[in-house]
């Protein structure tokens, strides 16, 4: 698996800017003069303390409402600020060693997007949203436009693009656009938003560097809730096949789904979900607020995303004892991940599997860990190759052991000796 060098070390902290700075929804929309984009910069030191090395931004370009109804791809949304605010954000991020990922909405546009080019549009809305018009991706002018937009903002300092609704765009469109962009910025990273389907085939057909790993996201919370690690095992076997071709973007929360703390039926299993994300191959992304155990349920209605896209005030965020514990766990596991970059392309092998116990080996070349998850009411006990406990619930680092014991609803990470 070939990869852009810096990506092997990146862990994204993802935010939804319009909600993060209180620009949407808002009773009175802010104006450019408020420079709210700069409020995000105030949180960069928090991202670094978390262990992140990149900032993944949601939509920041001019739109009427939620940002995915783009009006002008060359203009910063005036509710967030202006070009100078963007330049400041990029400069402050790079000064701290943080990469910047932009969100590109190139499948559809909003009602205020100029309609003077009739051949640029198709005659249908996007997924039933009457205010979103799908672009005509068979038109070479559209491809030229998208390539120019992407190149423009990479030239202004961005490091890559998340390609929104990439699953709805013909693969040949991306295959035509991305090489043009790479000619200008060969070190840029492109991740397509895919939900279902053949991820590996999509990467081959489009030229994406990565795709969103929704299969693994679903298997993590579903297997923990249902007491069915067989589902997780199946998903990790699929994940292994993807890793032979590319490194998927892994997540247990984002701006489009119910927060993991609300999704899990047992709050003790939040640790298991994070352990999984941080010990398997891929490019991890942490959604802002999940590191504090924030809750929020996405609903299928107008305004149904608002609960998972709250406003953040000035740092530091006020947290209770539980939030402090969740924060400490994130710091520890992300730090562990950062110190072992081989995990970027690590594959997993199942050592023990039943409904409520899962033990796997994650390895790459000569490096390996053993990860044990127990969501049962009884202890997990099993014989292992000699290994040292390096992390776990209620388990400080220990000497080498050959008999593993994990308390009910506990977890361990061990290093074979």
- DSSP codes of every residue in 144-206: HHHHHHHHHHHHTT--EEEETTGGGS-HHHHHHHHHHHHHH-TT-EEEE---SS-HHHHHHHH
What is the model's pLDDT at position 124?
Answer: 81
How do residues 387-413 score in pLDDT, each as one tens digit? 999 999 976 677 789 999 999 999 999
What is the model's pLDDT at position 39?
Answer: 98
Q: How far apart are alpha carbons 9 and 295 in whole angstroms?
A: 28
Cα distances from 182 to residues 83, 87, 149, 208, 210, in angstroms, run 23, 22, 13, 11, 15
What is the model's pLDDT at position 115?
Answer: 85
Domains annotated for the chain, with CATH where assigned, are 7-346 (3.20.20.80), 349-416 (2.60.40.1180)
> Taking the CB of residue 319, how many other CB atoms lie within 10 A of it?
15
What is the model's pLDDT at position 128?
Answer: 62
What is the model's pLDDT at position 131?
Answer: 84
Q: Which residues contact residue 385 at a Cβ distance below 8 angstroms, ignoring those fewer than 6 apart?
A: 370, 402, 416
Name residues of the chain where pLDDT drops below 70. Answer: 1-3, 128-130, 395-396
């Amino acid at each position: 698996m070939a990869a852009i060098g810096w990506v092997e070390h990146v862990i994204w902290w993802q935010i939804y800017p319009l909600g993060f700075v209180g620009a949407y929804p808002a009773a009175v929309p802010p104006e450019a003069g408020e420079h709210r984009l700069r409020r995000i910069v105030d949180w960069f030191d928090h991202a670094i303390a978390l262990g992140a090395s990149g900032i993944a931004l949601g939509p920041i370009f001019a739109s009427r409402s939620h940002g995915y109804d783009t009006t002008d791809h060359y203009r910063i949304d005036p509710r967030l600020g202006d070009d100078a605010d963007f330049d400041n954000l990029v400069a402050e991020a790079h000064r701290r060693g943080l990469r910047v990922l932009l969100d590109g909405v190139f499948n559809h546009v909003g009602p205020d997007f100029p309609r003077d080019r009739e051949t640029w549009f198709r005659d249908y809305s996007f997924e039933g949203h009457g205010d979103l018009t799908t672009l005509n991706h068979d038109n070479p002018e559209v491809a030229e436009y998208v390539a120019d937009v992407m190149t423009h903002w990479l030239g202004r300092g961005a490091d890559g693009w998340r390609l929104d609704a990439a699953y709805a765009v013909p693969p040949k469109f991306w295959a035509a656009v991305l090489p043009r962009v790479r000619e200008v910025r060969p070190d840029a990273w492109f991740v397509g938003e895919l939900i279902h389907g053949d991820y590996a085939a999509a990467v081959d057909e489009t030229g994406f560097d990565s795709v969103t790993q929704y299969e693994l996201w679903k298997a993590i919370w579903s297997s923990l809730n249902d007491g069915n690690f067989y589902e997780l095992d199946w998903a990790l076997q699929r994940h292994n096949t993807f890793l032979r071709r590319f490194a998927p973007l892994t997540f247990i929360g984002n701006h489009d789904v119910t927060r993991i703390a609300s999704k899990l039926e047992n709050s003790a299993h939040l640790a298991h979900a994070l352990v999984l994300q941080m010990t398997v191959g891929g490019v991890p992304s942490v959604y802002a607020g999940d590191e504090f155990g924030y809750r929020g349920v996405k609903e299928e209605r107008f305004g149904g995303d608002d609960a998972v896209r709250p406003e953040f005030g000035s740092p530091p965020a006020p947290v209770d004892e539980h939030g402090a514990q969740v924060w400490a766990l994130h710091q520890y596991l992300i730090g562990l991940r950062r110190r072992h970059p081989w995990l970027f392309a690590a594959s997993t092998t199942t050592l023990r599997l039943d409904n409520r116990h899962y033990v796997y080996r994650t390895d790459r070349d000569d490096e390996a860990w053993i990860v044990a998850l127990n969501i049962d009411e009884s202890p997990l006990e099993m014989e292992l190759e000699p290994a040292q406990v390096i992390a776990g619930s209620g388990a400080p680092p220990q000497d080498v052991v050959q008999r593993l014991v994990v308390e009910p609803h506990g977890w361990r990470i061990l290093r074979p000796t």
